[in-house]
Structure 1
Amino acid sequence: MTAPVQPAEFPGGPALFRLDPAVSHLNHGSFGAVPLPVQEAQAALLAEAHADPDAFFIAAPDRIERARGRVAALLHTDPAGLAFVANATEGANLALAALPLSDGDEILVTDHGYGTVVAAAARRAPLVTVRLDPGLPDEDAVREAVLAGLTPRTKAVLLDHISSPTARVIASPRLLAELRERGVLTVVDGAHAPGMLADPLAVQADFWFGNLHKWGYAPSGTAVLAVAAPYRDRIRPLVPSWEDHHGFPRSVENRATADYTGWLAAPEGLELLARLDAAKVRAHNNALAAYGAALLAQLPGLAPLPHTEGLAMRALRLPPGVAQTPEAARDLREEIAARHRIRVLIWPWPGGGGIRVCGQIYNRPEEYERLAAVLPDHLPPAA
């Protein structure tokens, strides 16, 4: 088997972050990491709020609107249809609450959906869950499986844009277009899309939400909800505010004396990504993730899963019997972190879970080599 070729280091990439150098951070997809220039921008905003709270909070709604406009321009979307929210789960709850559902309507989800987002859907309507084998070969196979799961009672579908555990596109433009043709409302969980994809909102869903704090270099607790024009009047904030009379999006963005500094600093993250050359960042991160996956694929019992080319994440199935439950997956993840100071995602699946590696401009090839060297100590002996 040909040895994988080491990608070159991204120039200046590691120096942009203040991560513990003793830890291999191969799990950017779960929580992200905030670059130093964005940390500094947020710190300046927080100092401003402490220096004159009255001035800061009185001006906050208008400043949030301007920050939203900058983010909308970078995401190539209409700022009137975009709102800041704290995270994808909040975006999901706002979107699902706005669905025009009647008794007997159902929401279709897949078994790759994020747990708390699927739980939010279950509060709104009965769910139909489509099982997507992680080994489905391509987007067409995923599309066919989702369409086959529709019933006459399917009013809406909730789909991952990029699935968290298996790192592949599910809500493809073709699938969403066919769902629209069938009169099915589309709700897309784009948690990993901003920064990972060049034009994440090109899929044209009825409701779409995504985190900026993962691949968009924004501070933690920063996400956006995009709503198609026919449904904007249906969005109701989870908590009323003095901005309710403005309607969406201002009505969902204003929360009295909340910490708005992450939202106000969010454009700095996406603008930093643009200055670094977003296409080069994506290509580098994809190459790193591919390198790590190729190393792990050489280990006995690990099987690489089909993936969407160009993404900064890769997933592999672990040997049968490993990480079959959430508890077993958590224990293995934390054992690897405690013993080797390597952060990586282990996800559960019946029959045997999986491992996901991410690539980011602060990572180095030797970190994936370390993971490949120690992982066999945590797996059953090869037969």
Structure 2
Amino acid sequence: MTEPIHPAEFPGGRALFRLDPAVAHLNHGSFGAVPVPVQEAQALLREEAHADPDAFFLAVPDRLAEARARIAARLGAAPGSLAFVSNATEAANLALDAIPFADGDEILVTDHGYGTVTAAAARRAPVTTVALDPSLPDEDAVRETVLAGLTPRTTVAVLDHISSPTARLLAGPRLLADLAARGITTVVDGAHAPGMLAEPLAGGADFWFGNLHKWGYAPSGSAVLAVAPDHRHRVRALVPSWEDAHGFPRSVENRATVDYTGWLAAPEGLDLLERLDAAKVRAHNSALAAHGAALLATVPGLTPLPHTEGLALRALRLPPGVARTQESAARLREEIAARLRTRVLVWPWPGGGGIRVSGQIYNRPEEYEYLARALPALLSRA
């Protein structure tokens, strides 16, 4: 077996973050981490808000529009097509509320979907859940399985852009085009796409949303919802505001006196990514995740899953019987954190769950190497 290539550290990567050096943070994909320059930009905005609240809050709608335009430029979108939101689940609810369902309509989801997004779909209409075997070999196999799951009543499909547990591309451009040709409204959960994909909006979904605080280096609670022109007039804020008369996107963004500093600082994250050379960061992170997955593949009982090239996430199946439920997966995750001082995602699956690692510029190859050495003894007790 060929030894995995040992990636070099990203120059200055660790110095950009204030993470606990005693912990190996191999789970950037769940919550992200905010670089120091972005933290400092947000801190200055908070000082400004405290110094003159009237001036700050009265100017917020226009300043959000300016920040939104900067974000749109980085994502390859028109400024009026995006709205700031707090997270993917909020965006999913806004999108689904804007779709005019009729009696008998059904929503297609997959068993890879994020739990709260799938729950939001189930509140609007009956759902058909398509089972996607994690071992499906490629994007074409995923596409064919999703299309085969359509029923005569399917009017909406809610799909992950990049699946959270299994770390692979699902809602690719070909699948979205096929669904559009069948008259299916597409709602795409792009939680991992901004910053990880060079063109996250290239697929042309009817509704697409993505977190900026993961791979886009923005403060926590920063996400965007993109809406195709034909649907924007139906998007209504979950809570009425003084900006309702302006319609989407301003009506969605106004939250009275909440803390807007994360959204206003969000463009600093994507700007930092560009200064670091986004293509270089993506290549480094992908290579690091691949290195970690190759090491973990040597652990007895762990099986690598098919993946999408270029992503900074990799997943492997755990031994049969391990992490079959949410509770047992959480126990194993916390045991790895407590005993190995390492943060990873452990996800449940019938018959046996999986483990996912991320690659980020603050990570070192040695962190994955230690996990691969220490994990067998811990799994033997699981």
- Counterpart of 2:157 in 1: which secondary structure? strand
- Counterpart of 1:232 in 2: which secondary structure? helix
Equivalent position of 2:249 in the other structure: 249
CA deviation digits over 1:298-336, x for unaligned, max 9?
A: 111110000000000000000000000000000000011
Give the CA deviation at 1:2: 2.1
- Counterpart of 2:346 in 1: which secondary structure? strand
Check if 1:280 corresponds to 2:259. no
Percent of residue pairs bearing the same amino acid type: 79
CA deviation digits over 1:36-79, x for unaligned, max 9?
A: 00000000000000000000000000000100000001111011
Equivalent position of 1:39 in the other structure: 39
Structure 1 distance, partners of 2:101, 2:265, is 36
- Counterpart of 1:156 in 2: which secondary structure? strand
Structure 1 distance, partners of 2:352, 2:221, is 32
Point out 4+ residue stretches in structure 1 off by more than 4 angstroms: none
- Counterpart of 1:274 in 2: which secondary structure? helix
Structure 1 distance, partners of 2:17, 2:250, is 32
Structure 2 distance, partners of 1:94, 1:366, is 43
Equivalent position of 2:209 in the other structure: 209
Q: What stretches of structure 2 of length at least 5 have no aligned partner?
A: none
Check if 1:146 corresponds to 2:149. no
Check if 1:354 corresponds to 2:354. yes
CA deviation digits over 1:246-303, x for unaligned, max 9?
A: 0000000001001000000000000000010000000000000000000000111110
Equivalent position of 1:25 in the other structure: 25
Equivalent position of 1:321 in the other structure: 321
Structure 1 distance, partners of 2:223, 2:11, is 28
- Counterpart of 1:200 in 2: which secondary structure? coil
When structure 1 is superposed on structure 2, of 174-183 and 369-378 the one drifting more is: 369-378
Matches within 5 A, 1:263-274: 263-274=263-274
Match for 2:295: what amino acid? Answer: L
Total equivalences in the alignment: 382
Give the CA deviation at 1:174: 0.1
Equivalent position of 1:366 in the other structure: 366
Equivalent position of 2:106 in the other structure: 106
When structure 1 is superposed on structure 2, of 161-170 and 371-380 the one drifting more is: 371-380
Match for 1:12: what amino acid? Answer: G
Structure 2 distance, partners of 1:51, 1:380, is 57
Structure 2 distance, partners of 1:322, 1:70, is 45
Check if 1:309 corresponds to 2:290. no
Give the CA deviation at 1:96: 0.7
Matches within 5 A, 1:33-112: 33-112=33-112
Give the CA deviation at 1:381: 8.0
Equivalent position of 2:163 in the other structure: 163
- Counterpart of 2:188 in 1: which secondary structure? strand
Structure 1 distance, partners of 2:380, 2:20, is 31
Give the CA deviation at 1:340: 1.4
- Counterpart of 1:135 in 2: which secondary structure? coil
Structure 1 distance, partners of 2:252, 2:381, is 53
Structure 1 distance, partners of 2:370, 2:300, is 16
Structure 1 distance, partners of 2:337, 2:38, is 27
Match for 2:151: what amino acid? Answer: T
Check if 1:239 corresponds to 2:239. yes
Structure 2 distance, partners of 1:305, 1:83, is 35
TM-score, scaled relative to structure 1: 0.99
Q: What stretches of structure 1 of length at least 5 have no aligned partner?
A: none
Structure 2 distance, partners of 1:246, 1:299, is 56
Match for 2:337: what amino acid? Answer: A
Structure 2 distance, partners of 1:3, 1:69, is 45
When structure 1 is superposed on structure 2, of 26-35 and 95-104 the one drifting more is: 95-104
Match for 2:48: what amino acid? Answer: E
Match for 1:6: what amino acid? Answer: H
Structure 2 distance, partners of 1:137, 1:100, is 36
Equivalent position of 1:332 in the other structure: 332
Structure 2 distance, partners of 1:298, 1:2, is 12
Match for 1:379: what amino acid? Answer: L
Match for 1:338: what amino acid? Answer: A
- Counterpart of 1:203 in 2: which secondary structure? coil
Check if 1:178 corresponds to 2:178. yes
